[in-house]
Chains A and B, each alone.
Chain A
Amino acid sequence: MTSSRSANVEGAASSRPVGGPTYVVLTGNPNSGKTTVFNALTGLRAKVGNYAGVTVERKEGRLLGSPEIKVLDLPGTYSLAPQSLDEQIARDVLLNRLPELPEPALVVVVVDASNLQRNLYYATQAIELGYPTLIALNMVDVAEANGHQINAGKLATTLGVPVLPIAASSGRGLPELRKGILSALNQKVVTDGRRGGARFCQLPGPFAKESGAIADLLAAHFKEHRRQAAAEALLILSNEKALASSLQHYPKAIQDAVDAARQRLDAAGVEWRSVAIEARYACVMTIHQAVVVETRPNDETFSDKLDRVLTHKIWGTLIFIAIMALMFQSIFTFAQIPMKAVQDVVDWFGGVVARSIPPGDLNSLLVGGVIAGVGAVIVFLPQILLLFFFIGLLEDTGYMARAAFLMDRLMSRVGLHGKSFIPMLSSFACAIPGIMATRTIESPKDRLVTILVAPLMSCSARLPVYALLIAACVPARAVFGIPKLMQGATMLAMYLLGIVVALLMAWLFKKTLLKGETPMLIMELPPYKRPLARIVLRHMWDRSKIFLRRAGTVILGINIILWGLATYPRDASVQIKFDRERIQLLKPAFPQVQSPADAVEKIKQLHAATNQTNTPEVDALVSQLDDLDKQEAGEKLRNSFAGRMGRFIEPAIAPLGFDWKMGIGIVASFAAREVFVSTMSTVYSVGSYDKSDIGIKNLAETLRQQKHADGSPVYTTLVAVTLMVFYVFALQCVSTVAIVRRETNSWKWPIFQWVYMGLLAWGLAFITYQGGRILGLG
């Protein structure tokens, strides 16, 4: 790799560890358009992973046209004095503290031109670190539209680094940026990149003196990072969190020196917490005045006008509710057409496989276990795509921050803040990105509370379960002229139930286990922007890939195991008993039938005959044989391992109105909720596999046809609702447990979470079922 790069960047490797890849690090404020710049620089082949030991997303790609150069997208950051885990990682990368990453060869600071002052605050901090730096002055189009004319050349001179004006969303200036990155990497060798690092703060004397002394200590102790010592000293002296977040990094001597310096400054009446910030902003103001010409008065932008409506007391609230309602209603109605298409393909494929493999265990495994099982989950892909489409849209337009603004009051009632709203909203898609999104929450206790309640939000894995049960058991008729209103309303009710209980639990946790003050809220409301199709589609694709991967691995594996559990052990006596009954049944009409083989042959003929001639005698016989098939399948399932497991837990779930077949589903979906759907499919199609050559029946239809011994339906609306309530609360997701373990760094919290959610699930399902029966709904 080194050799291929050196053709491009002559000799650049000499200043870095031999063989290490060249890293260009992309950093900047949140909402500065960093992700759009990253996508434009790297194309569509980014690698998303994690930093070692934490779940902060590590996004990295290769520079288009120069694949030997890696581009790393850091989490959005307001300051190098970190307030959250996200910002801490960005700081650690920029201070070159992570053993997994080499020193950045170039730092590209993305600066939002339409919000120059606050962005320059961070940009000057980054420049002071002394790496070769380049400013991508983004959104110059927006700045110009708002009447701010920025002189990029003058800004470059003032900052001492190249400034390239771009508009990443429209692609303006991007080829120049790419060229600029390459030439900056080249230049590094010429100037050796060892500038001392510019200084942008005119610090008051005593503070500058203390800061300088600490810088000397740092330079002596961390020799290889001598260049950044001055900038680092400023950070750890002026910010308590900057020091507290890396106590293991600094030796005791340096920590003591900082404490002593602070005491001396306190005694001298110097506000060491704020002087550096004030000095930097004073400098930023000077730069701003020098490079910006206001072409017209600061009037209301389009975004401001939009906010007048979207955050309005009445309209804003109504629109918020309408957006949420539209989201859930459309997931249930618009997705129907593509879902039907996917179902048809799965059915067709199952039919083809069933016909081309001789009947027996392999046929049954492939058709009833693999295809029906995985197919039953894949069918929900259109709904999941639609959900991620909405979430991506809300995020990319900037509405998500408004949702947090609108909901903050409710969140603060339970002791959380608006920032917890975004992780919780993301958890509707999947608790994993939701829990990962909690890393923007500054207070550890609030972060933990949010993690504990986030999985109560109905994630996309529950969607297949709800969708199946609603389709099977909730009337589809139109109400008030709206088609499928009852179904959409049931779906919304399940989501609301999760939300309400999550808020109650958060309140409870904040009152008891994790007592603490209601945290501060400091949140930016970025200007609205037109969503970019490629960003939204990318988001849909990335998230759906996770779903598909699960369907292809975990769910496939569970299905094969389940099929085995539902098929074995085979009790030969059951087979013999039913064969005898078939022969008995056929004998009066067909005296030549003597053996099971004869019977199978005759039954095949009869089935073929019913498709052409419909004599009542033949019809009656066929339906009697069908009943026998069902009884036999039922008895086989009952005797299977899965049946035994289901019956074993039946006493525990009987008070909830569930039978042992549902018990199989619940047991199987302990690893992943959506497995319930494929399990039901396996359980019921295993039950009728002898006829799999006529195609896999629609699962919802199959559920509706299930009857108790007395002929009453198994899946009543009440049972379906109770099952859904159970699924709202139970933490049946191995991945969530694993991520919570990693996020909280202990088994204590995931176990606690699993237990409390399990108790909630059982308790509330019990109340639902028994309450429903008392009300006469059973």
Chain B
Amino acid sequence: MAEATQPLTSVTLGATATVVEIKLPPASKPRLMEMGLLVGTPVELVRFAPLGDPVEIKVRGYHLTLRRHEADQIWVRTTAAGTG
């Protein structure tokens, strides 16, 4: 895939990407960041829940679930291979 920024939710399942921007309101950002999701953090889109929402991602070696609504605001750049 080309080096382009896109929302986390549109990445191929199982692919690793790097966070480039978190476009969430200031009040919602801190906890997400404390959970380890920062600009520059590699993140993998694992799956969507059976009903299509929420999203399961893998970050810093553990699994985290977010709503699509928030995950859509996390912009990532896909990398050639998962470097962890």
Contacts and interface: CB of A to CB of B under 8 A. Distances in A.
Interface of A: 78-79, 81, 83, 114-118, 121, 238-241, 273-274, 277-278, 281, 298, 307, 311-314, 316-317, 405-406, 408-410, 412, 417-418, 518, 520-527
Interface in B8-42: 26-36, 38-39
B49 interface: yes
B61 A412 contact: no
24 contacts: A79-B34, A81-B30, A117-B61, A118-B36, A118-B62, A273-B30, A278-B39, A281-B36, A298-B61, A311-B47, A311-B50, A311-B56, A312-B50, A313-B50, A405-B56, A408-B49, A409-B52, A412-B53, A417-B67, A521-B65, A522-B35, A522-B65, A524-B64, A526-B62
Contacts of B38: 274, 277-278, 281
Contacts of B35: 78, 118, 522, 524
Contact of A239 (B30, B49, B67, B84): B30
B34 A523 contact: no
Contacts of A115: 60-62
Contacts of A408: 49, 51, 53-54, 65, 67
A524 B62 contact: yes
A83 B31 contact: yes
B51 A525 contact: no
B60 A117 contact: yes
A699 B17 CA distance: 64
B29 A418 contact: no
Contacts of B80: none
Given A121-B36, A311-B56, 19 more contacts: A78-B35, A83-B31, A114-B61, A118-B62, A240-B30, A241-B30, A274-B30, A277-B33, A281-B33, A298-B84, A405-B54, A405-B65, A406-B51, A408-B53, A408-B54, A409-B51, A412-B53, A523-B64, A526-B63
B39 to A, nearest CB: 8
A316 B56 CA distance: 14
Given A273-B30, A274-B29, A311-B47, A525 B54 contact: no
A124 B58 CA distance: 23
Contacts of B50: 311-314, 316-317, 406
B70 interface: yes
Contacts of A278: 33, 38-39
Interface string B52-82: 1110100011111111011000000000000
A312 B47 CA distance: 9
The CB with the most chain A CB atoms within 10 A, among B28, B61, B70, is that of B61
Given A117-B60, A418-B65, A81 B47 contact: no
A744 to B, nearest CB: 24
Contacts of B52: 409
The CB with the most chain B CB atoms within 10 A, among A311, A316, A406, is that of A311
Given A418-B65, A523-B65, A525-B65, A409 B49 contact: yes
A273 B29 contact: yes
Chain B interface residue number, banded:
20 to 34
Nearest to A298: B84
A505 to B, nearest CB: 21
Contacts of B49: 311, 405-406, 408-409
Nearest to A316: B50
Nearest to B84: A298
Contacts of A525: 56, 63-65
Given A406-B49, A418-B65, A240 B36 contact: no
Contacts of A409: 49, 51-54
Nearest to B33: A277
A78 B31 contact: yes
Contacts of B62: 115, 118, 524, 526
Nearest to A118: B36
A277 B30 contact: yes
Contacts of A273: 26, 29-30
A281 B70 CA distance: 21
Nearest to A401: B65
Nearest 7 CB-CB pairs, A to B? A409-B51, A525-B63, A117-B60, A277-B33, A313-B50, A115-B62, A79-B34
A520 B34 contact: no
B34 A240 contact: no
A418 B27 CA distance: 20
Given A311-B47, A520-B28, A521-B66, A81 B34 contact: yes
B63 A524 contact: yes
B51 A410 contact: yes
B10 to A, nearest CB: 19
Contacts of A316: 50
A114 B61 CA distance: 8
A522 B60 CA distance: 15
A114 to B, nearest CB: 8
B70 A520 contact: yes
Contacts of A313: 50
Contact of A277 (B26, B34, B51): B34
B69 to A, nearest CB: 8
A313 to B, nearest CB: 5
Contacts of B30: 81, 238-241, 273-274, 277
Nearest to A115: B62
A401 B67 CA distance: 15
Contacts of A81: 30, 34
Contacts of B27: 240
A79 B39 CA distance: 19
B45 to A, nearest CB: 14
Contacts of A317: 50
Contacts of B63: 307, 524-527
A417 B26 CA distance: 21
A701 to B, nearest CB: 45
A417 B70 CA distance: 13
Contacts of A521: 54, 65-67, 70
B51 to A, nearest CB: 4
A115 B36 CA distance: 11
Contacts of B64: 522-525
Contacts of A281: 33, 36, 38
B34 A121 contact: yes
A312 B34 CA distance: 29
Nearest to B49: A405
A410 B52 CA distance: 11
Contacts of A417: 67
B73 to A, nearest CB: 11
Contacts of B51: 406, 408-410
Contact of A78 (B28, B34, B70): B34
A281 B36 CA distance: 7
B37 to A, nearest CB: 9
The CB with the most chain A CB atoms within 10 A, among B50, B51, B70, is that of B50
Contacts of B26: 273
A116 B31 CA distance: 18
Nearest to A297: B84
Contacts of B32: 522
Contacts of B65: 405, 408, 418, 521-525
